[in-house]
Each structure stands twice: as C-alpha cells, then as structure tokens.
Structure 1
Amino acid sequence: MRGDVAVLGTGMHPWGKWGRGFVAYGTAAARAALADAGLDWRAVGSVVGAATVRGGYPGYVAGATFARALGWQGARVTSVYAACASGAQAIATARAQILAGLADVVLVVGADAAPKGFFRPAGGDRPDDPDWLRFRLLGATNPAYFGLYARRRMAVHGDTLEDFAQVKVKNAASGALNPLARYRKRVTAEEVAASAVVADPLRLLDICATSDGGAAVVLSSMEFARRHGAADPVRIRAVSTVTPRYPRTQLDLPDIATDSAVTVADPGAACAFRASIARAAYEEAALGPEDLSLAEVYDLSTALELQWYEDLGLCGEGEAAKLLRSGATAPGGRIPVNVSGGLASFGEAVPAQAIAQVCELTRQLRGDAGARQVEGARVGITANQGLFGHGSSVIAVA
C-alpha cells in the first residue's frame, strides 16, 4: 500500500550529555511534537517507539514505555528495533498503520541515553551477530570500521584528509546555527587536522560522538490533516527499508583473508546496498536525485558522508569529493547536505537520529528553519544504515 501521510508536528529534546534516562528525553520530544501539531495526547491512536537496547526492558518495549509516561489513554503500541535505522523503521510502521486505516494519528518517538565513549555490543555474547564478532574477534570498534571505509575511499577514489576535514567544517558551520545541536561551534580544517588520530586516517573531529537525545513526529492521514486545518502539510511520500540482494550481502565484517587496510568485506556490496535503499525510495516517490532540495545523511564519519553523496545519486561514483569541493553540498549550493549539522554536530542518540532527520526535513519544507533555511525547499531525503541489512531512506515533500 502506497500513499502520503501528513507530518503534523515535530519535537526534539536537545542532544548532549544530560545524565537522565531515555524516557525523559523521549517524553519531552513527544510533548513538543504534540504541541507543534496542536493536538492533545488523547487524539493519538497509536504510539510507535524506536527501541533502545541500552534502556533495559523499558527500552525494548519503547512504545509502551512512552505511552505509559505520557499517560495511558488506550492507544495501541508498537516497538521497533533496527539499530541506527530504528527511527525510520518506526516511521515506516506508523505510516503503514495510517494507510491501512488502523489509526488516524500516530506518534513516533525515539530516545537514547548513550554511554560515554565508543558503543559496545549490548545483551551478552551473540556469536551469530556480525557486530558482536567484529568487536570481539577483530577488536574493530565503530571508529575502526569508519577508518576502513575512509582508507578505502582514499585508495579507490583518491579522497584526501583535506576533503574529509571540509565535510566537518561544513557540518559544524550548520550545527552552530542549530539550537538543538550538542556541538555549536564552527571549526577550521586546521583544527580538524590537529585533532588526535582515533582510527587512521580519521581524527577525533572526523568522527561523531555518542549523545543523549530524543526526537518525535506526529503523523496523520491526509483526511485527518485537512479536518484538523492543515490544508497543505509536509507529507512523507516514501519510506524505504529494503535489504541487500544475494549474493552481495556481506556488509558488516572486515575481510581478514585479504588486505584489510583497504577492504571491508565486499565493500561494493555495502555501497550497492546503500544505493538500493535510495533507489527504492526514489521509485516509490516517483522522484529522482534531480528533484531534491536537500538531504540529511548518516555521517558517522566525514568519509561516510562522502560515500552517501554517490549512493544517493547526487554525483557519480568516485565524484563525491569533487561535488563537495564545488560547494554544491554546502548551504546555498545545488543540494545542501546535513544542514541540521548532522551527527557531526549532534552525535549519536541511536533510536532518535533517523526521526531527527525527518524533523529537520519538515522544518525546511515548512520554511521555518531559521538561519539554516534552504531557500525554496520542496523535496528532501534522509538516509541511514543499521546493522544486519537494516537500511532506511525517507522522502518528504512540501
């Protein structure tokens, strides 16, 4: 079933390290989204929670946890987990419920209270989990994984450390304008180069932090939106949650049988998978890269943002650094990317980040993004990749 759903409201809890539980961040974001939508909590027919594995049992049943925190009122609840793609999978679930006629109004919420330092596998030993294996057997923390991708881009496409630094400079400048961002300070390429090497070739300022934060959206049927007085709301036109295609499915493990310095399993499989995520979204929306006004992408590292340029079809293979250097992906360029500041400015609050991307698209498409506003924004896309073939892309239109 395909069709538009309306985005009636968005809300976020500022990113940072606040020392509170994920429920506090999520309920704050939910209340802000309801206020933005002009709706009472009792109007919500369904709550979809993006789950967190770091919140214990309440995190696993996030939908019910948030419904309880807001006050039991009979809404149906659903909880969704897909690692970094959890928020978009939650939006996909909410959209399906609306299009199926199961609810007129759905609240989608994601929040996290992240640990300090690198993420580690949660939930005990999982020898059938590629994430657990790369941590335990290879010692490949997330930054090490990001470094392998960066080294591959340097080897295959000729990207440079200076190119990576310019991604951070661009995103930090946008983050400085975003009151919800954790890091609100411009940086120079020289400051990026002077920061400590974490996972060669990436420096500290090339890699996103872990953060606390929350995000929420209120979605509705188009009929409800019109009845509610929203004659021309921002609409979600497509949500892609496709999986890889056999036989190119090895996305998560470094290839210890080959030169791991420049090879990550079948790196072409990972690139093909990310491209297929976007392609499915474009096909569903009957739109293409040429129609985009902006993109919010999953910039776990500066090098990974460049890879998304190619995977979203913003440029050809190997041309991402050239696109960046041209200024096309900067504010005022042909296709601004991460005008929110991206994860470079926010850090990772895993269940919330894909929802936060949709919050940014909504503000931009409404024309109320303030100093970050992309002039004439009409179509936006998000992109995320989670573990084990969980990918996501959302297209929203004005």
Structure 2
Amino acid sequence: MTDDVAVLGAGMHPWGKWGRSFTEYGVAAARAALADAGLAWTDIQLVVGADTVRGGYPGYVAGATFAQALGWQGARVTSVYAACASGAQAVNAARAQILAGMADVALVIGADAAPKGFFAPAGGNRPDDPDWLRFRVLGATNPTYFGLYARRRMALHGDTLEDFAQVKVKNSAAGAANPNARYRKAVSAGEVAASAVVADPLRLLDICATSDGAAAVVLSSMEFARRHTTDPVRIRAVSTVTPSYPKTVLDLPDFATDSAAAVEPPALGLRASIAAAAYEEAGIGPSELDLAEVYDLSTALELQWYEDLALCAPGEGAKLLRDGATALGGRIPVNTSGGLASFGEAVPAQAIAQVCELTWQLRGLAGDRQVPGARVGITANQGLFGHGSAVVAVR
C-alpha cells in the first residue's frame, strides 16, 4: 500500500531506575535502532523526539536534544508532546513527513528519567487543565482513577480481585522472558493479593511503577526500504483521535453548567474510538490480529482494553482472560512484552516500545515470548488531556 511506511530498525535502553539523564537513554536506544536497520546516523534525514516535560528545557525540545547528542549532521528535527501517547504521536509525525515526500528515512526516539512517586505538575498549577483539577480538587490521582475503574468493572461485569491478579500473573510471565523489562520475575496471584492496597480494590502489584528507559525506531518510505530489505515490517495505520463529547469547550471550572442537561453519550468511548479509527485506516478488523500491546497502567484497565479493541464483547474481558486467550499461546496474546506491569512507565518512550515489540514479533525474533506466525499487530494507549494512540503494524 502506498500509505505504508517501513520499520527498518528497533532499539531500546532497558527499563529500570538507572539515575542517569534521559538523553543518555535515548541515544543508546537510537544507536541500537540504527544498528538494527544497518544504517549510519548520517543517513538519517529527520529526527522526531517524544518530549519528556520533566527533563527541563532539553526535554521540551527532545528532537533537537537527541540530534545534538548524536552529533549535528543537518537532519530536520521535530519534537512532540502528547503525555503517554507521545511516542505514537512522534511515530505519526515521522510517518507524515515520509508520506509527504519530505524525508526518506527518519529516527523516532522517546526516553524518560522518571522521578519516584507521583509526578509533580509540569509548569506548576494548571487550573485550565481538567486532569490537574482532578488531582487537586478531587484528590483523584491516577491510582485512585484506576481503582474507580476496577470497582466499576466489578459492579457491572462481575470481575473479581482474582481476575485482576491474573493479568499481572500473565504479564509478569512474559516480562520474565524480555531482556529489556525492569521486572523479570514471574509473580503469583498470591503475591498480588498479599501486596499493599494502594487504591481499593487495587494492590501495589496491580499498578505499574514509574521507570527510566528509552525506545527508538527507524522508519522509511517503502522505496527506501526496498533498497535495504525484502520483507520489512510496515506501519499501516496510526490513530491519534481525541474524545467525542456533546460539548467540546468547557467553561472551566463550572462543571455543573456543563453537566446540567441530559444528553446522549457518544457512540464510542475514547479507547474504543482510538481502536476503531486504527482498524478503519488499516482496513482490518480485530479478528485479523495476531497480538496486541496495550496500556496496562493497572490490571483492571487491561481488561477494559480487551473490550475497547473489540477482542471480545463488552463485559467479557475477564472471561477472555480466564479462557487463556490473551496469554502466550492463546488466540490473541496481549502484552507479550510484559507490558507496563513488567516495564513501568517511561512516559514518552512507552508507545514507541510497543512498536518495537510488534516489530520483533512480526519478524519472528521475540524468543521465548514469540507468537508463532505473527503477521498483524496493534498497539493502544492513551494520554492525559484526551490524547489517544494506536498503531497497526503488518508484515
């Protein structure tokens, strides 16, 4: 297809708490991706950096920061911020320039050096940011948010604490086989249940950590790719849609005014709309997928993604898990990388890391976590302030 771009190289810096600069991690991942592509840094015509707003000014201009660290060589640079969706937005920015004929080959990099605990608001107080208001006015930090989602699933669908724990069990088994994962130890359901309660009903092992790490991919036009490989992994779709609501401009902070009238909810929620747009652009349906990498900030949220990706009917996410369909060897393995359960969050890198996992899986190079014969995969995540992302890769 003329709208495909090729993934020529994928590389990562292992996740952990290394105590070094995000730039160092990003450069290591970039060099690994370049080596995987068989290209020199001087071959790159465009650098797109996924921004890390906790990295000071260099983090806000990540594209130029990485280009400078690799050595100025005249490449175009672009920097992208979309919270947890930054990596996929960066992939899409590179893809757009390649498809527009502005570059033949691009390097996309995301890296973070995350602090422990809750993230302080970048730029200070943000009274015009609904997410900041959620934190400050309601005290609903992200783990609280995850706990509410979990309680909702328990009330509506009958999900249990054991179901949530089994997501962690599944993902930790995959992460144990991934050399780039931070946590490389299989975890039992009993260990999840015995971990501290963070946001009832979720335990510590139900919720992902914050991590340092980096990921990078080399993308190119199909014409450029044909000069370097005979069967490249291709990116066929990138979805970056935002939510749909009856009123799109809020008179903050007057929430009462905005919720006073009864209105029909949108046909699809944000996560489902992210997936639907990706499927439509790629010209595929969920039945054609061989694997998926989803944004498991919490174990309960992974179950919700099964339904939003239409891997099963609404309310049947836990059943899909219980049937073993989403485990390695199942009908549609989810988070073969180990997911955020095994990596933790390195915010601007994680959506790129998902693309790296699809690349290795579709090449047949994922080792003990390989999905046999994988040809089509999807990634999915979301970021604060309505950022969505999904990437469809094929071979």
The two structures have a TM-score, normalised by structure 1, of 0.94
**What is the aligned partner in structure 1 of residue 366 from structure 2?**
369
The CA deviation at 1:42 is 0.5
* 1:293 pairs with one of 282, 290, 305: 290
Structure 2, unaligned runs of 5 or more: 257-262
Task: State the alpha-carbon separation in 2 of the partners of residues 42 and 385 from structure 1.
Answer: 33
Query: Secondary structure, in 3 states, of the residue corresponding to 2:213?
Result: strand
Query: Secondary structure, in 3 states, of the residue corresponding to 2:10?
Result: strand
Alignment of 1:249-328 (within 5 A): 272-328=269-325
Query: Secondary structure, in 3 states, of the residue corresponding to 1:243?
Result: coil
Task: State the alpha-carbon separation in 1 of the partners of residues 287 and 133 from structure 2.
Answer: 40
Alignment of 1:145-294 (within 5 A): 145-228=145-228, 230-247=229-246, 272-294=269-291
The CA deviation at 1:245 is 1.8
**What is the aligned partner in structure 2 of residue 20 from structure 1?**
20
* Alignment-mate amino acid for residue 79 of structure 1: S
Say whether the 8 Å CA contact 1:250–1:269 is kept in structure 2. no
* Alignment-mate amino acid for residue 388 of structure 1: F
The CA deviation at 1:120 is 3.0
Task: State the alpha-carbon separation in 1 of the partners of residues 238 and 199 from structure 2.
Answer: 33
The CA deviation at 1:299 is 0.1
* Alignment-mate amino acid for residue 151 of structure 2: R
**What is the aligned partner in structure 1 of residue 260 from structure 2?**
none
**What is the aligned partner in structure 2 of residue 261 from structure 1?**
none
- Cα shift readout 1:10-43 (whole Å, capped 9, x = no counterpart): 0000000000010000000000000000000000
- Cα shift readout 1:103-157 (whole Å, capped 9, x = no counterpart): 0000000000001112232211110011211111112111111111111111111
Task: State the alpha-carbon separation in 2 of the partners of residues 335 and 181 from structure 1.
Answer: 21
Cα gap change, 1:152 to 1:61, in 2 (>3 Å): same
* Alignment-mate amino acid for residue 370 of structure 1: G
* Alignment-mate amino acid for residue 234 of structure 2: R
* Alignment-mate amino acid for residue 66 of structure 2: F
Task: State the alpha-carbon separation in 2 of the partners of residues 194 and 244 from structure 1.
Answer: 37
Say whether the 8 Å CA contact 1:119–1:142 is kept in structure 2. no
Q: How many residues were matched structurally? A: 386
Task: State the alpha-carbon separation in 2 of the partners of residues 371 and 119 from structure 1.
Answer: 34
Alignment of 1:380-391 (within 5 A): 380-391=377-388
- Cα shift readout 1:235-284 (whole Å, capped 9, x = no counterpart): 00000001112317699x9xx98xxxxxxxx9x76961111110010010
- Cα shift readout 1:207-254 (whole Å, capped 9, x = no counterpart): 0000000000000000001112x1110000000001112317699x9x
Query: Secondary structure, in 3 states, of the residue corresponding to 2:385?
Result: helix
**What is the aligned partner in structure 2 of residue 343 from structure 1?**
340
* 1:360 pairs with one of 357, 361, 372: 357
**What is the aligned partner in structure 2 of residue 128 from structure 1?**
128
Query: Secondary structure, in 3 states, of the residue corresponding to 1:383?
Result: strand
Query: Secondary structure, in 3 states, of the residue corresponding to 1:48?
Result: strand
Query: Secondary structure, in 3 states, of the residue corresponding to 2:326?
Result: coil
Say whether the 8 Å CA contact 1:120–1:141 is kept in structure 2. no
Task: State the alpha-carbon separation in 2 of the partners of residues 26 and 271 from structure 1.
Answer: 36
After TM superposition, which residue ranges in structure 1, 4 or more long, deviate above 3 angstroms? 248-251, 268-271
Say whether the 8 Å CA contact 1:120–1:135 is kept in structure 2. no
Structure 1, unaligned runs of 5 or more: 258-265
Cα gap change, 1:201 to 1:23, in 2 (>3 Å): same
Task: State the alpha-carbon separation in 2 of the partners of residues 120 and 314 from structure 1.
Answer: 36
Say whether the 8 Å CA contact 1:248–1:269 is kept in structure 2. no
- Cα shift readout 1:67-112 (whole Å, capped 9, x = no counterpart): 0000000000000000000000000000000000000000000000
Cα gap change, 1:148 to 1:249, in 2 (>3 Å): farther
* Alignment-mate amino acid for residue 299 of structure 2: T
Task: State the alpha-carbon separation in 1 of the partners of residues 390 and 122 from structure 2.
Answer: 26
Say whether the 8 Å CA contact 1:121–1:135 is kept in structure 2. no
Query: Secondary structure, in 3 states, of the residue corresponding to 2:138?
Result: coil
The two structures have a TM-score, normalised by structure 2, of 0.95
* Alignment-mate amino acid for residue 326 of structure 1: D
* Alignment-mate amino acid for residue 121 of structure 1: P
Task: State the alpha-carbon separation in 2 of the partners of residues 250 and 147 from structure 1.
Answer: 28
**What is the aligned partner in structure 1 of residue 42 from structure 2?**
42
The CA deviation at 1:2 is 6.7
Matched, 1:106 2:135: no
> Which stretch shifts more, 50-59 or 270-279?
270-279
* Alignment-mate amino acid for residue 4 of structure 1: D
Task: State the alpha-carbon separation in 2 of the partners of residues 204 and 15 from structure 1.
Answer: 19
Say whether the 8 Å CA contact 2:245–2:266 is kept in structure 1. no
* Alignment-mate amino acid for residue 226 of structure 2: R
Task: State the alpha-carbon separation in 2 of the partners of residues 7 and 224 from structure 1.
Answer: 11
* Alignment-mate amino acid for residue 394 of structure 1: V
Task: State the alpha-carbon separation in 2 of the partners of residues 132 and 173 from structure 1.
Answer: 35
Query: Secondary structure, in 3 states, of the residue corresponding to 1:84?
Result: coil
